[in-house]
Amino acid sequence: MRFRFEPIADWPPLAWLAMCRRDSSEIVIWHGQRVEVADEWFCEAAWAGPYEDGGFDRTDIVAGSGGRRRAGTVTFVGSGSTIDRLQVSRQEDAVYVSNSLLCLIATLGIELDPCYPGYYSDFRTVVAGLDAFQRRVRILQGDLELCYFDNLVWDGASLEVRRKPWPDRDFSGFEPYRTFLVSVTAELVENARSLARRFPYRTIGTVSTGYDSPAVTALAKEAGNREVFSFRTARGGFNDCGDRIAAHLGLDCTILDRDAWRARALPEVPFLAANAYGEEMHFSGAEDLLRGRVVFTGFHGGKIWSKPDKGLGPDIVRADPSGLSLTEYRLWVGFLNCPVPFWGAREYRQIHAITHADEMKPWDVSSQYSQPLSRRIAEEAGVPREFFGQVKRAASVVLWNRAESEAFLTERSLADYRAWLRRLSGQFVRSGSLPPLWAERIDDARTAIVGRVNNLTERSASRLNNMPGLWRLTMHRPPPLFHFLFPWAVHIAKQRYGRVPAHTP
């Protein structure tokens, strides 16, 4: 079994697609220009271990993806988190694996169901953990499935899911756990900067006034990072700038406008085409800083480092799908998303035992918003207590968040989206569905009713809301146009790819 590499100049720089034929010992890899290739492996990844060894298949500390050939098999390796994934299409004569859903859809001519309203709900199931998420993507023909965190092994005849290595680690107390986080992050930094790469990565972090990013920033600094960026405000216009934190840590900090993305052309597309939600759209305002970087982020910290442990398990149950909307965008721009809280997260019992240990009480502030682990990491690094973790804020974009006056789409994007929906009105009718533009008119009437109910006296409004069925009119829910953003975004975004030269059905 051997690799044949086929670079494609106009693909996103970090995208790759592997074709595994059952009657061939050759695996063809089409890839963007910044994918690293070697005789025995290829990757767009950094991991805890020497770069020259190509051992990303033997660790669970991985940011990015790739493929490794050993002893007659090939292991396709996904990120050691659930904010990236691998995609698979099983055809009659071949199996295709890619780090990009868009790449697979475009090159194989796969068609989504534009009338299906459940894409967002399906993608969101990743929060339920590795044993419970929706593996198959709704399409009009063929097969398309997702793989989070785990690896995929091709033996020449079939492709099987294989769990990542799970080393026995000592998280018996705060110091061993913190030492682990710093050491594996430092190994990853050294790997990313290796001069053996054609394209070495620089590093950068994110910092806000919450809990997770200050802790990650402190850990990444100790591992060698010296630069961060921060958005000036959070959702709703509240101050969320982490410049004071960066200053106390001696880091260079670039301050960005959270809403800068709205000035770009169709900025929502790559984010919505990743998970049908797109909550990290504001990251596109940092695009010039992100290119060619390992980006340290705090995704999953709010779950694994929080005090409540409800629902947690070794299958990586999450509180929300934050970070996932970056999975296509980062391939376009050329950066690796490195969410430090995921490292070792399968040992959730040990981590939560640390959180509730007596030694952590000095960092367990007397409020409902308390993360002792995050606070101790940041404070011991020199960040004053009052600079972070006081009020929970979020910079993420919520497209239906009318309560905080979040605009739905940019003007140009909305015009394009409406035109696309109009062209599909007949298809919605034939499928037995109400065309979204018609449903929008009905929802406008519902919104007017909500406004009138809210203007009533509190007692009258309470009585009305308790009437059977009326909650359907007054409940807070996404607008009708939200449900079909994913197929629209994919329709546009897949143009970044074309069919690969020959070999495809």
Q: What is the pLDDT of residue 131?
A: 93
Q: What is the pLDDT of residue 475?
A: 46
Same domain, 219 and 360: yes
Tokens of 149: 């965190």
State the virtual CA torsion across 341, 343, 349, 355 in degrees, nearest 10: -40
Please say whether the dihedral angle defined by the alpha carbons of residues 203, 12, 414 and 427, taken in this order, is positive or negative: negative
Q: Which of 319, 354, 387 is the last residue of a domain?
A: 387
| Gap between the terminal Cα atoms of the chain | 22
Domain-embedded: residue 505:
no
Same domain, 488 and 422: yes
Same domain, 144 and 191: no
Same domain, 264 and 291: yes
Domain-embedded: residue 199:
yes
- CATH code of residue 190: 3.40.50.620
Q: How many whole angstroms separate alpha carbon 275 and alpha carbon 488? A: 12
Same domain, 54 and 149: yes
Domain-embedded: residue 335:
yes
> Kind and range of the H or E element at 89?
strand 86-90
Q: What is the pLDDT of residue 212?
A: 94
Mean pLDDT by 10 residues, the chain (505 residues): 94 97 92 97 98 98 98 96 97 94 94 96 96 95 93 96 96 98 98 98 96 96 97 86 96 95 93 95 95 97 87 87 97 98 96 95 86 96 92 79 67 95 95 89 68 58 54 57 95 86 52
Domain-embedded: residue 247:
yes
Q: How many whole angstroms separate alpha carbon 453 and alpha carbon 340? A: 46
Using CA atoms, how far residue 123 sits from 83, 85, 126, 443, in Å, is 11, 11, 6, 24
Domain count along the chain: 3
Same domain, 257 and 345: yes
Same domain, 435 and 303: no
Task: Return the amino acid letter for 229.
Answer: F
Q: What is the pLDDT of residue 396?
A: 84
For residue 114, give the DSSP letter: T
Same domain, 426 and 343: no
Domain-embedded: residue 299:
yes
Same domain, 125 and 202: no
Same domain, 31 and 158: yes
Same domain, 240 and 373: yes
Residue pair 228/207 in contact by the 8 Å Cβ criterion: yes
Residue pair 181/202 in contact by the 8 Å Cβ criterion: no
> Which residues, at least 6 apart from 271, have a Cβ–Cβ distance to it below 8 Å?
277, 278, 279, 280, 281, 284, 325, 326, 328, 329, 489
Q: Which of 145, 165, 185 is the last residue of a domain?
A: 165
Domain limits at 143? 2-165
Same domain, 29 and 161: yes
Domain-embedded: residue 56:
yes
- CATH code of residue 44: 3.60.20
Residue pair 272/279 in contact by the 8 Å Cβ criterion: no
Domain-embedded: residue 136:
yes
DSSP 282-334: GGGGGHHHHTTEEEEE-TTHHHHTSS--TT--TT---S--TTTTHHHHHHHHT
Q: What is the pLDDT of residue 438?
A: 87
Backbone region of residue 398 per phi and psi (left: phi > 0; alpha: psi in -120 to 50; beta: other values): beta
Going by C-alpha positions, the residue among 214, 219, 188, 213 that lies closest to residue 201 is 188
Residue pair 504/284 in contact by the 8 Å Cβ criterion: no
Q: Which of 139, 165, 191 is the last residue of a domain?
A: 165
